[in-house]
Amino acid sequence: MNNQVSSTDAMQENTITMNRLLVLAELFLPTKGGTAVWAAEVYRRLGGKEIHIVTANVPGAAEVDAVHPNSIHRIDLRRVPWLRPESLAMYVRLFFMSLWLALSHRFDAIHAFRALPEGLAAWAVARLTLRPVVIYAHGEELTTWGKGGKYKAMRFALRHADRVIANSEFTRNELINMDIHPERITLIYPGVDVERFRPRLPCDDLKRHIGLAPGEKLILSVGRLSRRKGFDHVIQALPALAKAGLGVQYALIGIGEDHDYLLNLARENGVSERVHLLGHVSPEDLPRWYNACDIFAMPNREINGDTEGFGMVFIEAAACGKPAIAGLAGGTGSAVIDGETGLRVAGDSPSKVAQALYKLFVDDELIRRLSSAGQARALQNFSWDAVARKTKELRP
């Protein structure tokens, strides 16, 4: 374990009630994505204005800040192309705003939602103000940043944190491989709004929108349209399902670099009329799309170290009472328990994906069992209230 300053050691020996927090989170609402939602949902449950959040100034921020219970501080965190490194100005602004807040308030701890850029700035401020620092690790960054300067800076921040939050067992194991002491790692899964994502929401209009005929089944995927998500292999599975006599359509929600690739793949496989790329959907419609589907699928795979750290979409589907198909790569085993809340398959094999889909579509009892267990697990372990309780119990 790394040597810590003596005042921090003393703090670790005492029980700390962390009500006054400084939180560094570049990604925060209204920015889309699981990390932004996680930061907003957890800390609103941990306190009010005594929790200060430093984040990026983005379009639509004023509307979010007006109703959020925490104290939000927006700064310009854009990269500057002519600087070397481009992120230098961002680090400087993040550091000085956080230091000013830490000197003018007596925080119990400093939380950083990622190792870079937030974690490095949080560590520096924490050491200057003799506060403990907590850094979140999400998984993907641990396996995709190579071994260069960026990786070394991330590893430094994580190794010098008083507490590291891992979002899955996979992430925890990767942290241990980076020589982070296991005793300083706390496992906290991401959460889901179980009031918003719930079963029995009206969705017949969505089914009509894509022309889903009575008796046809619907597969749903939600996420960035990137190769590692495995959406291409779901498309390649559709001809086999049709050949087996199953009427199946496929809806994808999300945007990304694979949009044209997926459209072309659907044409090449003769299933263009069955594949619906929906792009962004409204926040109100997203839970209804989960309700509209029969199976949620994201058979992810690892590509050049890029992998899925957890997969909050699996929990959203489970909260809506839908079974999921996940890949074997990354941390999805924390989100989908194979044979209990869904199926995990080799995401790099279109035939294995097709077999898993067929297995579920022909066994209504299996779907009911997986759906029931998945929803119960989501309610018990993944509500934002449960995540907030675990975060409140942290002892740096």
The CATH number assigned to the domain holding 349 equals 3.40.50.2000
Residues 328 and 357 in one domain: yes
Split at pLDDT 50, 70, 90, the class of 321 is very high
Residues 231 and 145 in one domain: no
The answer to whether residue 193 is domain-embedded is no
pLDDT at 255 (0 to 100): 94
pLDDT at 33 (0 to 100): 82
Domain boundary among 137, 160, 188: 188
The answer to whether residue 233 is domain-embedded is yes
pLDDT at 14 (0 to 100): 34
Split at pLDDT 50, 70, 90, the class of 82 is confident
Count how many domains the chain has: 2
Three-state secondary structure string covering the chain: CCCCCHHHHHHHHCCCCCCCEEEECCCCCCCCCHHHHHHHHHHHHHCCCCCEEEEECCCCHHHHHHHCCCEEEEECCCCCCCCCCCCHHHHHHHHHHHHHHHHHCCCCEEEECCHHHHHHHHHHHHHHHCCCEEEEECCHHHHHCCCCHHHHHHHHHHHCCCEEEECCHHHHHHHHHCCCCHHHEEECCCCECCCCCCCCCCCHHHHHHCCCCCCCEEEEEECCCCHHHCHHHHHHHHHHHHHCCCCEEEEEEECCCCHHHHHHHHHHCCCHHHEEEEECCCCCCHHHHHHHCCEEEECCCCECCECCCCCHHHHHHHHCCCCEEEECCCCHHHCCCECCCEEEECCCCHHHHHHHHHHHHCCHHHHHHHHHHHHHHHHHHCEHHHHHHHHHCCCC
pLDDT at 290 (0 to 100): 98
Q: Which residue type is seen at 309?
A: G
The answer to whether residue 335 is domain-embedded is yes
pLDDT at 358 (0 to 100): 98
pLDDT at 18 (0 to 100): 54
The answer to whether residue 4 scores a pLDDT higher than 50 is: no
Residues 333 and 370 in one domain: yes
Domain boundary among 188, 223, 257: 188
Residues 172 and 229 in one domain: no
pLDDT at 364 (0 to 100): 95
Split at pLDDT 50, 70, 90, the class of 347 is very high
Residues 222 and 361 in one domain: yes
Mean pLDDT over residues 330-338, rounded? 95
Residues 221 and 351 in one domain: yes
The answer to whether residue 387 is domain-embedded is no
d(CA 136, CA 149): 20
Split at pLDDT 50, 70, 90, the class of 15 is very low
The answer to whether residue 198 is domain-embedded is no
Residues 145 and 107 in one domain: yes
Residues 132 and 221 in one domain: no
Residues 260-301: tens digit of each pLDDT: 999 999 999 999 999 999 999 999 999 999 999 999 999 999
The answer to whether residue 17 scores a pLDDT higher than 60 is: no
Residues 74 and 43 in one domain: yes
Residues 11 and 129 in one domain: yes
pLDDT at 87 (0 to 100): 86
pTM, whole model, 2 decimals?
0.86
Mean pLDDT over residues 50-56, rounded? 98
Residues 183-196: tens digit of each pLDDT: 999 999 999 999 99
Q: Are 341 and 377 in contact (CB under 8 A)?
A: yes
Domain boundary among 188, 222, 257: 188
pLDDT at 305 (0 to 100): 85
User: Distance of alpha carbon 309 from its chain centroid, rounded?
Assistant: 8
Split at pLDDT 50, 70, 90, the class of 378 is very high
Q: Are 34 and 315 in contact (CB under 8 A)?
A: no
The answer to whether residue 396 is domain-embedded is no
Residues 85 and 222 in one domain: no
Mean pLDDT over residues 152-176, rounded? 96
The per-residue pLDDT of the chain, averaged, comes to: 93
The answer to whether residue 320 scores a pLDDT higher than 60 is: yes
The answer to whether residue 252 is domain-embedded is yes
Residues 230 and 376 in one domain: yes
The answer to whether residue 61 is domain-embedded is yes
Range of the domain at 259: 204-381
